[in-house]
Amino acid sequence: MTLVLGIGLRAGTSYRELRDLVDRALTGVVGVVGTVATVEGREDEPGLQRLVASLGAQLLVASAVDLAGQQVPSPSEQVGELAGTASVAEAAVVLAGAELVVPKVKSAGATVAVGLLGPAAPGYSCADRDVVHRVIAERRDVRRGFLDKPVDDELLTRVLEAAHRAPSVGLSQPWDFLLIKDVATRRKIHDLAAAQRDAFAASLPADRRSAFDGLKIEAILDTPLNIAVTCDPARGGRHVLGRHADPRTVWFSAAIAVQNLWLAARAEGLGVGWVSFFDPAEVGAVLGLPAHVELLGYLCVGHVSEFAAAPELVRSGWAARRPLAWAVHQEQWGYRGLPGSSVSTTAALQDAAASSGRVGGGSQVLRLVVLDGGDVAEHLGAADVLVVQVGAEQPAADFGVLWRPARTADEAVELGVEVARDLVLQGVGELLVSSIGDSLVAERLTEGIRWGGLACGAVVKRVDEPAAVTDSPA
Ligand SMILES: Cc1cc2nc3c(=O)[nH]c(=O)nc-3n(C[C@H](O)[C@H](O)[C@H](O)COP(=O)(O)O)c2cc1C
């Protein structure tokens, strides 16, 4: 059994006093002390340091604020006034994730409480957890505000080490990191991105194109360092564990390495911007990649003046974040809701429609054509048309077609709701929907689009009826 000792002590408390108190507290308790936890400000006390060393334990230091947030059996007002927390010893045990088995015992200068760590491995302390969540929330894709300051080699190595610790299928570690500082090389890469930018702009409907004109999509020449992250899909030969059934897993692994890099860079105050406006083979040719190695991601890296609080695409109104509750399904697809909440079925979504808020903010007008079978190609001419194909046969890959093969009429509604909501997140403010033919599933999906669009504050119009029905949010 692993034990946690929570210790509160006055400055200058001797090792002897602490040791005697600990022995008293541990009388009759079976286990090995793995952690000693105390309050910030006492970690350097010589008596405590010696105790921790003699026990061979790790020292966990918690802030008074974190300790004050713990529920304990014996809080003390006096300690509260002095230390900013009504308990140190017991609160430190609880904060370390242990179950309190010996409430605090006291000597003249110290208090000791004992906790037992359960069979589940403990998590980090509150403060450490906060840092992890903070770095995840505050990581940004950065394209502006880079400083003219080189990236220190040691810092860069730390960040690359974090990337290199990523999980990988069969421990295949399929990534490599190509560091690029040379301006001539970066110019060539920049030209490739510029050409792709033009091609993308040309593919957009007029209103979306003008919004795109204001967006910066890369910082290749603004950063002192670019990193090409590559993937060798066959690394490790024939029997890489876990890859045989799903070869995509090597790509997942390399992408996770990028995320590790991104988070570690954020923690170091280093901005990273991922650029994907490339044909990977063209970048590979500029960089002289061997034919068996492919580009996974191209990163622009450098010190920045600030990290924005929200993604640039959100701040510019180009796209919006998807609520977590839309992304969590319970037991079966379509039963959405956060853990512990009642799940939201299609009926609930319909009920919610009237009361939901606007999630997007975009003004793009999109024409949606809902089809059950038939040829999608004849509808794809204009850039502002999206075809939703509900037929069972998968159409050829084309970003102009969403394949939503609903198996039942109810599922069609649910899929329609999702289609509309996700379009609103991508800047659509008005949906002009036509359902072609008399398919029930297509009709129900169209109804779902109406519900989903209205729920998110979009304007939804049916345009296939002689007298067009217009619905606007109340
Ligand atoms: C695989 C991938 C490719 C991306 N490609 C680009 C890109 O070419 N240009 C760009 O400006 N941002 C790119 N991004 C950044 C996303 O736009 C950004 O992650 C998203 O808007 C959320 O913002 P955040 O990363 O600041 O939270 C890419 C991100 C990923 C994960």
Domain holding 301, by residue range, is 139-315
Does 394 lie in the same domain as 359? yes
Atom of ligand 1 nearest to the CA of 142: 26
Sign of CA dihedral 66, 67, 69, 71: positive
Distance CA 38, CA 8 (A): 6
Burial, 198: exposed, middle or buried (Cβ in 10 Å; 0-12, 13-18, 19+)? Answer: exposed
Residue whose CA is at the smallest distance from ligand 1 atom 9: 217
Mutate to test the pocket of ligand 1, among 136, 138, 141 (most ligand atoms within 8 A of CB): 141
In this structure, is residue 262 part of a structural domain?
A: yes
- 384 is a domain residue: yes
Reading phi first (left if > 0) and then psi (alpha if -120 to 50, else beta), residue 454 is in alpha
The minimum-distance atom of ligand 1 relative to the CA of 193 is: 8
pLDDT digits (tens), the chain, 474 positions: 889 999 999 999 999 999 999 999 999 998 899 999 999 999 999 999 999 999 999 999 999 988 988 888 888 877 767 777 888 999 999 998 899 999 999 999 999 999 998 877 778 888 899 999 999 999 999 999 999 999 999 999 999 999 999 999 999 999 999 999 999 999 999 999 999 999 999 999 999 999 999 999 999 999 999 999 999 999 999 999 999 999 999 999 999 999 999 999 999 999 999 999 999 999 999 999 999 999 999 999 999 999 999 999 999 999 999 999 889 999 988 888 899 887 866 555 655 554 555 676 788 999 999 999 988 888 888 999 999 999 999 999 999 999 999 999 999 999 999 999 999 999 999 999 999 888 999 999 999 999 999 988 999 999 975 444 444 443
* Distance from the alpha carbon of residue 136 to the mean position of ligand 1, in angstroms: 15
- Is 157 within the bounds of a domain? yes
Nearest-CA residue for ligand 1 atom 23 is 311
Report phi then psi at 137, rounded to 5: -70, -30
Reading the block at residue 389, the tokens are 């194909």
309 lines ligand 1 (CB under 6 A): no
| Single-letter residue type at 316 | S
Of 287, 315, 343, the last residue of a domain is 315
277 C-beta closer than 6 A to ligand 1: yes
Q: What are the structure tokens assigned to 288, written together? A: 């002289």
Residues 95, 242, single domain; the answer is no
Among residues 80, 102, 126, the one where a domain terminates is 126
Is this prediction's ipTM beyond 0.95? yes
What the block records as the tokens of 59 is 């020292």
End-to-end CA distance of the chain: 61
pLDDT on residue 12: 96
Contact 333, 410 (CB under 8 A): no
Q: What is the amino acid identity at position 150? A: P
Q: Do 219 and 267 belong together in one domain?
A: yes
Q: Judge if 198 and 237 occupy the same domain.
A: yes
> If residue 62 lies in a helix (H) or strand (E), which one and from where to where?
strand 58-62
Pick the closest to residue 295 from 193, 150, 159, 217 (CA basis). 193
In a domain, 100, yes or no: yes
Same domain, 171 and 309: yes
Are residue 79 and residue 214 in the same domain, yes or no? no
Q: How high is the pLDDT of residue 298? A: 98
Beta bridge partners of 60: 37
- Locate the DSSP E strands across 360-449: 364-371, 385-389, 401-403, 428-435
Measured from the CA of 313, which atom of ligand 1 is nearest? 21
Cβ of 341 below 6 Å from ligand 1:
no
CATH number at residue 102: 3.30.420.180
Tokens of residue 276, six digits: 């994907």
Q: Give 275 Cα–ligand 1 centroid separation in angstroms.
A: 7
Write the pLDDT tens digit of every residue in 111-136: 999 999 887 777 888 889 999 999 99
Whether 265 lines ligand 1, by a CB cut-off of 6 Å, is no
What atom of ligand 1 comes closest to residue 277's alpha carbon? 8
- Considering the domain architecture, whether residues 32 and 179 belong to the same structural domain is answered as no
**Residues 71 and 184 both lie in one domain:** no
- Domain match, 255 and 343 both: no
Q: Within 13 Å and on the Cβ side, how many CA atoms surround 53?
A: 9
Q: Is residue 103 part of a domain?
A: yes
- 276 close to ligand 1 (CB < 6 Angstrom): yes
The amino acid present at 308, given as its one-letter code, is: A
Q: Are residues 179 and 37 both part of a single domain? A: no
Q: Looking at the domain assignment, is residue 464 inside a domain?
A: yes
Distances (CA, A) of 223 to 75, 145, 226, 296, 423: 53, 10, 7, 19, 33
- Which of 275, 291, 315 is the last residue before a domain boundary? 315
Phi, psi of 8, rounded to the nearest 5 degrees: -110, 140
Distance between CA atoms of residues 457 and 205, nearest Å: 21
Query: In which element (H, E) is residue 274 found?
Result: strand 270-275
Q: How many domains does the chain have?
A: 3
Please indicate, yes or no, whether residues 303 and 335 belong to a single structural domain of this protein.
Answer: no
User: Is 131 inside a domain boundary?
Assistant: no
pLDDT in tens, 298-332: 999 999 999 999 999 999 999 999 999 889 999 98
Spacing, Cα 129 to ligand 1 middle (Å): 25
Measured from the Cα of 255, ligand 1's closest atom is: 1
The tokens for 177 are 């990191």
CA of residue 232 to ligand 1 center, whole Å = 23
> Which atom, in ligand 1's list, is nearest to the CA of 310?
26
**Residue 116 corresponds to which tokens in the numbers above?**
């037992």
Residue located nearest, by CA, to atom 29 of ligand 1: 274
| Residues 285 and 335 both lie in one domain | no
Here the CATH number for the domain that contains residue 299 is 3.40.109.10
Q: What is the pLDDT of residue 465?
A: 52
Mutation test of ligand 1: which of 142, 258, 274, 300 has the most ligand atoms closer than 8 Å to its C-beta?
Answer: 274
- Smallest Cα–Cα separation from 300: which of 269, 263, 270? 270
- Going by CA atoms, what residue is nearest to atom 10 of ligand 1? 217
- The answer to whether position 133 is within a domain reads no
Q: For ligand 1, is residue 275 a contact (CB within 6 Å)?
A: yes
